[in-house]
Structures are given as C-alpha cells and as structure tokens.
Amino acid sequence: MNNEAIRQQVEALLSQMTLEEKAAQTVQVPYTVVGREESLRWAKLGAGSFLHVLGDDAREVQQTAMQESRLGIPVIFGIDAIHGHGLNQQAAIFPSQLATACTWDPAVAEEMGRVTAREVATDGLHWTFSPVCCLGRDSRWGRIDETFGEDPYLSGEMTYGIVKGYQGDSLDADDSILACAKHYIGYGEAVGARDAVDTQMTYRKMKEVFVPPFQRAVDAGCATFMTAYGSIDGHSFTADPKTMKTILRDEMGFDGFVVTDWNNCGSLVTQQFVAEDMQDAAVQAAEAGNDMIMSTLEYYDAVITAVRAGKMQEAVLDEAVRHILTMKLRMNLFEKPEKTGVPGCIGCEAHRDAAYRAAKRSVTMLKNSGMLPLRSVKKIAVIGQNADDIQSQYGDWTYLTHPNAEAAREPLRPYVTVKEGFEALGAEKGVEIVYHPGCAVRPLPPEVLAMFEGPALKDPVAEAVRQKAMKRRPPADDIPGAVEAARSADAIVLVVGDTIDQHGEYKDRADLALSGQQMALYRALRALNIPLAVVLVSSKPLAIPEIADSADAVVVAFNGGQFGGQAVAEAMFGLFNPSGRLPISFPAHSGQLPVYYNALPGWHGGRYMDMPRTPVYAFGEGIGYAPFTYANLTFDADTLLATVDVTNAGNIAGDEVVQVYMHDVVASVIRPVKQLIAFTRVTLQPGETKTVSIQLKRDDFSLVNREEKRVVEPGAFELFVGHSSKDEDLLKTEFRL
C-alpha cells in the first residue's frame, strides 16, 4: 500500500472513531500487571497496544480486539527484546548492547537485530523497545549495559545497524518488527547517574552531543521513539513540545509514533510534580507530542474528560491516533494482524551461531604481558563466582530477570559459561581444569540468608520456589580454598564482576570498586606468583586500577550472552585473535568520573589532586596477539580524504579498527579535546601493510552554535588517526577548512 492510500485509509478510520475509541487507541496496556480479564476488556474498548504478552495470550487479545471492538482495529504487541528475544527461554541470547559495541562493527549489530526480529515475529509480536541510544558517560548509572557506550558517533553507527536489522527491508514483512529508539533524550545524563532524575543540559548541548545517535535511528527509518523520564532546565521531556515536535519531527525528520516510557504521564503528577492531576498530565503529555501512553491507564478517562471540558482540542488526539494508525497500516496489520516470523527459528542453530559470532567479536583484551595465549600449560585454575554464573553472563533483560521471571527460573541450555568453556577446551587439549568460586560477588544480606537457612516453608509451592532459589544462591566466601585449588596450577584465570542485583533500573551504584571479597581474592591469588589473567564479566566498567597494574593479562567480556564463556576461553587459548575495542572508558575510582574521552577543555590542573589524569583504560583501547603500527598519515583538505599506512607487526593475522578523531582548534563554542568522526576495520596478514583510505564529509567537522544551528565554521582543525583515543596511539596532522 502506497503512502497516499495509507493516508486515505487513516483519515477514513479517524472519521468513524468516537472520542473514546481515539483515546483507547493511544493507550498501551501492561498485560502482566492487569491480567487476562482486564486486558480483554481493554481489547474490546479498542486499546492500541499491549505490553509483555506472549503466545496464545497475545492471540486471544488480538482476536478480541478485531472481532469484538467496534471497528476491529488490530493491536500492536510490544516487548523488551533488548539483546535477543531474551524473555523467551528458547531464544538466542546475544551480548548486551555494551558488549556488542565492543565489536565496533554495525554489521554485528544488524545481524543481532535481524535474528531478534525473526524470533520476536515468530512469537507473533510486532515491536521491540530497542535500541537504547542514550550515551553511557557515567558508569555509575544502572543501565550502562543497555547503551552502545560513551560516544555519539559510535553509538549512532551501531544504532543504525540494529534498527536496519529489526525492521528489515519492509515493515510488513513476516520477519520484521518495529524498532524503538529510546530514551529520548538524555536519560543517561541524569545528575549523579541517578536514574530518571533531572538532566543537566541545554538544547544546544542536547543537539550537539545527544541527538546524533537518535538522528541515525531516524536515518535508518526507525518506526517509533520512546520518551525519557528526565527534564531539561526543569521542564519534563514528556511534556516538552520543543523536544518532541520542533526538534524530533521538524528538524530530525521523524515520521513514526512516540510512546512514553512506563508511566511517564503519571510521573508528571507523582514524581516530577508539574501536573496538578491526571487530567492536567494527560493534556501536557498529549500536547507535547506523545502518541501512545505506556501503562498509565488513567490517561484514558483523563484525556476524554479534558477534551469534553474544552481543556484540549480533539485535533491533538487525532494527530496521535493518525501516527499510530499509519504505522499499523505500514505493517499491514489489518490484513495480517499476527506476525508469523520463520516457524521453528526461535533458538535455532543458525541463530545460536550468530550469538556465538557476536560474543567472539566482543571479547576485548586490554593487557597481555606474554601470558596469553595459554600454551604449554598442564593445569589451569578457573576461579570466581562469575566464571560459572549464567545470569551474570546474560545480564539484564532475559527470562531470568524480566518481567515475568519466576523466582529462580532454571536457565535453559544451550549456554556456555567461562568455566565450561575452559573445561571443554581443556578436555580437548589435555589440560586439567580446576574450579573454585572463591567468594561471592555480592554476599547475601542476613535477612535473605536466614530465608535460605531457615526451616522448610509450609506452603509446598513456596518451598519449591525456595529450593530452586537455593540452587542460585551465591557461594560462601572461601578464599583459602580458592588459593589451595590454584596452588599447583600453571596459570590462573580469575573471573570478577557484578551481578544482576547491582545493575539495571533502580540499581545505580555509588561505588564502582569490586564488591564483596573479590579484591582480597585477587591479592591472595596474586601472592602465589603464578601467571594470573583477570576476566571481567560485568554490566559496566568497574574500578580496577590495581588489577590493571599488576595482573598478567586483562580481558573484558561484559555480558557476553549465551556463548560469552566459550568466546572468552577460545580467545585465551588462542583459537582466534581477539579484536574488540572499548566503547567506554574505565575509571580508576568512582570519584574520578566522568572520564569520557571527548571532554571539554579548561579544567584547572587537568585532574583531581588525588587521582591520575587519565582513565585506567580509555575509549577505543583493545589489543590482540599482533601489534599494529601506523605511518604516513595524509589528509587532503579539499577532497576530505584521509590515508594512512597500517602494518601488522606480529606473526598472526588480525583485525585493526582504524579510528579517526578531529579537534576544532578555535570555535564559537567550546569543543571537545577530540571527537570520533569515523572508523573502519582492516584485516592484515603477518607483516602486511595496507594503505587505508577514509572518505570524510564536511559535516564531520560541524558544531551546533549558540543559535542551535549545526554549522561548519571555517578555521584550523587537527585530524588524528590511530589505534585508540589515547594521544600516544594517534598520528596527527593539521589543516584548515
């Protein structure tokens, strides 16, 4: 159906709809909160969307909406399929967005999106609330793992890839789903990394720093956007027409529909206190440009009352419904209300292989003093709770955590933890593997421990749940036992990190040091003077300066998904040459934050008096088993073509990520010390040199001026090309535009 035909059908439907039907179309109902009967009532009313409903329940709701509502308008089913269709136990579970960003490869993100779309569609669903386009600039924030890291450009390129993967060639295809760019905008920039509070920014800063990833979502054709909880200059984003209409639609060119985050509309009354009552909140949210209201069911009556009382024009509601109906017609839901996907594909071998490839590409080695790859060893001690904790390896937004996770649901095979990856390769190579958890990543509080240690519960169902939970109980601290297990090993692999209790919504962290007795465990193992590699299985960068300084090797896996453990083991045994690069910087201490590489200049002294100037590991860092050298950087200021010679100086083939940064020497606004503007991957054989050419654009050197316009100002610039954002890793040339 072409655009004009869609427009005509939308207008025909609108002309038939009552005020109540229009209001219902803008409501998204949380099935898991209200239950089956109430959901079916909403379907009869003509609700526009339902959240977190699967399988036969979704089919029943859809049939009710189409057969028992007056106009038979199909509903859209939304789900949080964040790194794979992870709320389905059978699905392929990919690395987190942050781990995926370590690949510095939009094609990996696109494949993750394509696989996820097929599996979500095969469940009969239409819409994922992904990708997160927020920037991860303060790693205390609980949702850092959901971002593509700290940089606008890298985040934008990964966003573009995953949106293309979700939506495919056409929204009406059986295996395509709607993407949702979230959280618009500045959600990750909340003060003190405290989730959902005030955001310290101006509209100019918003456009220069935070809009670019969202703009790339628009460029990719992203069908929906989700509004953020925060505020700008004391004005809630949910109620800000400039953000939602002027910037998003008029300037960025977005033509889909906007959905609020969970109860954003209600939060105007209960959290931000900018609306007197629900009716006031409904008017503010609707007039600002929110089309669909997630989980604030009171909005329905409130917006109807507001229109009838003359407090809001019905035309405002018409525009919201117009956006929603247009998308339903683009998806061809009136003809095919249920997505069919690819029957039998959920968790199929091809999809698991894609998750495995993504995990391998995400492994990021940050230090190696010659210990790796592991060769000529007869015994390896694998130590640490996170070496064998699949929930920590999966991270957030899987069937083990959200939103209907039974209390201690059993993890479903296939998956491979770090311990299991080493055991499999050890058996193959004749290497003995011993394992000891050492200590709990986060010891249980006494009241929870008492629940486990108390007598059996009288309720058999409750007792069965307790018994399942006990299987996932963190280990008791036993550092002497871990030391004894490792004492006769030729090498030690210590896996440290965090758990699901330490990240996600409502779980911002003030202290990024390793929790529990993990540092004590590291020091005890280090004292054995046995080669020691540390693997970080975590949701975010943690403060590990002592480990970075004294370990023999450091490998970052973040939340590597289904086969993250296998990828780590294979990389450390040398079965492949790791090529991951950091999308985010590692602080030396929580108090050193922020440490993102593209800071503004002018800080007196350039550092805290009791902290180093630089992060422990910087944006863009990552090494493999072959070093790369750079020479002969050239840049033509007329054609904007950069060239550089890159050489593999090692004895193994490897991938290098060639990174291009710029600095605007003098500008009308303060510019970052450097800013990523391009990158490309190059594969080189041992000893091979390639001349890498990178075509830049004039807009790569642009800024947002004080009038909030994006312009390129003539003047002097510096161009940097090299291995990471660190000054010592970059060649520099100067030019004028």
Residues tagged active-site: 261
* Chain mean position to CA 423: 30
| DSSP H or E run through 719 | strand 716-722
For 113-172, strand residue ranges (E) read 127-128
- Tell me which residue has tokens 């859209």: 76
| CA 441/CA 439 separation, integer angstroms | 6
Mapped to the 3 state alphabet, what secondary structure does 511-579 carry?
Answer: CCECCCCHHHHHHHHHCCCCCEEEEEECCCCCECHHHHHHCCEEEECCCCCCCHHHHHHHHHHCCCCCC
The phi, psi pair for 493, rounded to 5°, reads -115, 110
- Pairing, β 641-648 against β 628-636: antiparallel
Per DSSP, the chain holds a count of helices (H) and strands (E) of: 23, 25
Residue 673, CA distances (Å) to 572, 599, 617, 725 in order? 35, 6, 17, 10
Tell me the torsion sign for CA atoms 11, 13, 16, 20: negative
Mapped to the 3 state alphabet, what secondary structure does 679-711 carry?
Answer: EEEEEECCCCEEEEEEECCHHHHCEECCCCCEE
| CA 452/CA 464 separation, integer angstroms | 12
- Strand-pairing partners, residue 30, are 51
Alpha helices in 331-459 (DSSP H): 349-362, 390-394, 418-429, 446-453
The phi, psi pair for 87, rounded to 5°, reads -80, -10
Q: Do 394 and 96 form a contact (C-beta atoms < 8 A)?
A: no
| CA 218/CA 185 separation, integer angstroms | 14
Buried/exposed code over 577-611 (b: 16+ C-beta within 10 A; e: otherwise): bbbbbbbbbbbbbbebbebbbbeeeeeeeeeeeee
- Who contacts 497 (Cβ-Cβ below 8 Å, separation ≥6)? 386, 392, 441, 536, 537, 538, 539, 542
In the chain, how long is the greatest CA-to-CA distance? 81
| CA 704/CA 537 separation, integer angstroms | 38
Q: Do 406 and 89 form a contact (C-beta atoms < 8 A)?
A: no
| CA 234/CA 630 separation, integer angstroms | 48
| CA 38/CA 21 separation, integer angstroms | 17
Smallest CA-to-CA distance from 97 within 459, 690, 106 is with: 106
Q: Do 703 and 713 form a contact (C-beta atoms < 8 A)?
A: yes
Smallest CA-to-CA distance from 393 within 419, 373, 368 is with: 419
